[in-house]
Amino acid sequence: MTLSKSSDTRTAAQRPQSATDVKGAVIYTGLCRAQLYKDMRAGLLIARKKGTRTILFYEDLDRYMRAMPRAKFKPFGNGF
């Protein structure tokens, strides 16, 4: 089955992005830019470079977020 050229273009345009820049990663993770760069330097977050641009794959951002320790909270003293 052959797809028309316009169909190919529409499908490609609807495909989600696989990567973002640091600004997009800040929005995606909710973390500040400085923390992302700190963790990149520490090797906790994988980043790639294209010229001067820093690229982060969403799958790496998801892995980075899942690797963070779970939050622990003290229970309320009144039983709630």
Average pLDDT of adjacent 10-residue blocks, the chain of 80 residues: 50 70 96 98 97 96 96 80
Residues 6+ apart with CB under 8 A from 32: 26
For residue 51, give its domain range: 27-67
At 14 the pLDDT is: 53
- The verdict on residue 80 lying in a domain is no
- The verdict on residue 22 lying in a domain is no
- The verdict on residue 15 lying in a domain is no
Looking at the structure of the chain, the number of domains it has is 1
pTM (2 decimals)? 0.71
- The verdict on residue 57 lying in a domain is yes
At 75 the pLDDT is: 87
DSSP for 8-55, please give it: HHHHHHHSPPSEE-HHHHHHHH---HHHHHHHHHTTSS--EEETTEEE
Tokens of 27: 């929005």
Q: Where do we find the tokens 């989600």?
A: 16
- The verdict on residue 75 lying in a domain is no
Neighbours of 21 (CB within 10 A): 13
- The verdict on residue 60 lying in a domain is yes
- The verdict on residue 72 lying in a domain is no
